[in-house]
Chain A
Amino acid sequence: MKTLLAFTIVFVFPWVLFAADDSNQPQKIADVETIINKANVMAYYQGTDGKAKVTMTITDKKGLTRNREFIILRKDDKDGGDQKYYVYFQRPADVRGMVFMVHKYVALEKDDDRWLYLPGLDLVKRIAASDKRTSFVGSDFLYEDVSGRSLAEDAHELIETTDEYYVIKNVPKKPDTVEFAYYNVSIGRQTFLPMKMEFYDKNNKLYRTIESKKVEMLEAKQGEEIVKYPTVVQSVVSDLTTGGKTEMEFSDIKYNTDLKDDLFTERYLRRPPREAIR
């Protein structure tokens, strides 16, 4: 009897799994590493490079709004690897022409390199950047929300698989470096895009959410073929403690435009490339 059971487990179960895999249904069971790696690539590494115009609407608890508009360029070393970001501000008027550039490193021990260019002074500043969990341009988004949190920072656990989502619980390995106790991410089973992130504090209370409100399938060239990349084009972060929220919308999104490496150097900080500003 025992032998039969062992036989069943060893031979029949995998067969069932493989059979499921072959069908057009989303993967029934996937291991957590595969899911988070794939979700990370889908959310932050789509294509080898990307460009988008971003509009942010920051609403405080009193309902007063502020707007930010910028163009963001991104180039990846490789999927899941180091990245370069170039952000050219268009609004508000007092920061127009300002450029923020980041060389982002995945290795935990290495801080990102950040530069700021102030056009009024023609000044290229280096910014000390150890804390990635501070607000990005005064919004409810944090630096880490915009450029991605290194997967190695957290322990990941698949806590639920629904028809639509994989729900992953992420617990920081160094809890004293962050303000949350853990966060759950609901990852779409079809697209592998993170659709909802819920941050919990030490008292297990939900205090912050990020939701993907709108996803579009965007055409892009990948080598010779035309592919479609699922892309979040609208997302909202809500701070349940302060009552503030920030909506972020992406437009004019382009992938694989062959951005050159030297675009992310001092030359283009001082004088933006045309593709960055128009």
Chain B
Amino acid sequence: MRKTQRLITFILLFVVFSLPLKAQEESDNDFDLLLSNLDVHGFYEIRSGYRIRKDKYEKDMSIMEQRFQVEMSSYLDWADFKVKGDVYGDLVEEQADFDLREAFIFTRPFSFMDIKIGRQILTWGTGDLIFINDLFPKDWQSFFIGRDTEYLKAPSDALKVSLFSDLANLDVVYTPRFDHDRFISGERISYWNSNLGRIAGRDAVVHTNKPDRWFRDYEIAARLYKNINNYEYALYAYRGYWKSPGGQDPTGTQAIFPDLNVYGASVRGNVAKGIGNLEFGYYESDEDQSGHTGRINNSELRFLAGYSQEIGKNFTGGIQYYVEHMLDYGQYKDSMPSGLDRDRDRHLVTFRLTKLLMNQNLRCSLFTYFSPSDKDVYMRPNVNYKATDNLALEAGANIFFGDYPGTFFGQFRNNTNIYTAVRYSF
């Protein structure tokens, strides 16, 4: 898998660098221009974290890495270019790796059209750390072990075409080969393994069978949106696959990514003294329309309502309510051994508090997920201090509670960790 990832990386790098080279043939000055317009930035970071509960399936270190990110951007008359990549060495996985985060060409060929092609980070939708219609890849592992929030978004290798008009705007994202989440596999985070009926980790790393054929196992996502008096309305559609494993093959040995279609809508705008948002999505689990097969995810309705407001000087608060509603619950329940089935509805409430202190150089924040139906909690306290314009110090934790071992956050109880980081940006 890593090999193919590297291959794609090289192909993309080649594309990014060869296109300007092709331009160079047309005009000798272009390459010089590209170089003279080159802008280089990045950071160096050390991040270390430990588990504070004993986990017999994982190492005590939750993260122990050095990371060097370089971002290079440049432009010519007809396009912008950007390459951003991380080299990092990690003692938990005991290896060094390269993560190409972005490598794209952006162009505005017409006044009504934007095109972005290559490796890119993509985000849309209205939720705060909750995603319904944003089906771009996430990196849940990075999120739970305490990397910067930036790493929650994993890159896509995609073509994004945006069309703009007075009537409405349209974004279409075509991903020629399925980009799945960097999901919890047991390698670094222990999880509930329903086959074993217990918590598992490095002893039972999830094996997957991924759709990975170019141009056949593609994803397509679209957003039609319009701003009316600064209320942002959007309609969404997606055709692809469950982004994290959403079922098992018939033998129960491999996790699979079943077909998924999603249709949704959202609105965001001013409400009272703050910002309110509503989002809705219908998840059509295409390989199990009627819900007979317990081994494949049920179709679902997902709904989110959120509100955030300034509650004091340099102090903001946010609250969200989110629900996942299974559509063929009866069929699902019949197919599951009793006691292992989940509730029909998963309710989730989130709270965010952010306070800025010391001339906004110190940011204290707490994000909490709480599920009254699953009876589990996930808290993300974080303190970030900018000692100088270049140097930032950070400390935080990922805290999981749960009454049951099989619930969404409850299964991660033993992964509760604390971390610190130092980052020098340039």
Contacts and interface: CB of A to CB of B under 8 A. Distances in A.
Contacts of B120: 122
Interface in A115-140: 120-124, 126-131, 134-135, 137-139
Contact of B122 (A120, A122, A129, A138): A122
A175 to B, nearest CB: 17
Given A58-B359, A267-B162, A122 B425 contact: no
Interface stretch (A8-16, A90-98, A203-211, A216-224): A90-98
Nearest to B317: A128
A214 interface: no
Contact of A128 (B106, B225, B308, B425): B308
Contact of B41 (A93, A121, A127): A93
A113 B149 CA distance: 25
Given A66-B388, A111-B270, A126-B268, A266 B227 contact: yes
B270 A113 contact: yes
A126 B359 contact: no
Interface string B287-329: 0000000000000000000001110011010000000000000
Given A92-B425, A128-B275, A134-B314, A121 B150 contact: yes
B331 interface: no
B253 interface: no
A126 B277 CA distance: 10
A78 to B, nearest CB: 19
A103 interface: yes
Contacts of B269: 126
B360 interface: yes
Given A120-B121, A122-B120, A130 B310 contact: yes
A123 to B, nearest CB: 5
Contacts, number: 92
A262 interface: yes
A113 B229 CA distance: 10
Nearest to B309: A128
Nearest to B273: A130
Nearest to B69: A120
Interface in A249-278: 262, 265-267, 271, 274
B55 interface: no
Contacts of B152: 121
Contacts of A130: 273-274, 309-310
B359 A123 contact: no
Interface in B35-64: 41, 43
Interface in B249-295: 268-270, 273-275, 277
A138 B359 contact: yes
B4 interface: no
Contacts of A58: 359
A139 B361 CA distance: 10
Nearest to A67: B389
A50 interface: no
A122 B106 CA distance: 14
Interface in B135-181: 149-150, 152-153, 162, 164, 169
A244 interface: yes
Nearest to A103: B230
A153 interface: no
B133 to A, nearest CB: 14
B390 interface: yes
B309 A265 contact: no
Interface in A216-249: 244
A60 interface: yes
B123 interface: yes
Contact of B425 (A60, A94, A129): A94
Given A138-B359, A244-B359, A271-B106, A128 B389 contact: no
Nearest to A120: B150
A33 B227 CA distance: 36
B15 interface: no
Contact of B273 (A127, A128, A267, A271): A128
A55 B169 CA distance: 35
A34 to B, nearest CB: 33
B106 A91 contact: no
Interface string A63-102: 0101100000000000000000000000111101000000
Contacts of B390: 92-94
A135 B314 contact: yes
Nearest to B75: A274
10 contacts: A93-B41, A111-B273, A121-B149, A126-B277, A129-B310, A134-B313, A135-B314, A265-B227, A266-B232, A271-B114
Q: Across chains A and B, which 8 residue pairs bring their CB atoms closest together, nearest first?
A: A138-B360, A92-B389, A93-B425, A120-B150, A128-B274, A122-B123, A94-B425, A126-B275
Given A111-B273, A121-B152, A266-B169, 8 more contacts: A92-B390, A93-B426, A94-B43, A122-B120, A130-B310, A262-B164, A265-B227, A266-B227
Interface of A: 58, 60, 64, 66-67, 91-94, 96, 103, 111, 113, 120-124, 126-131, 134-135, 137-139, 244, 262, 265-267, 271, 274
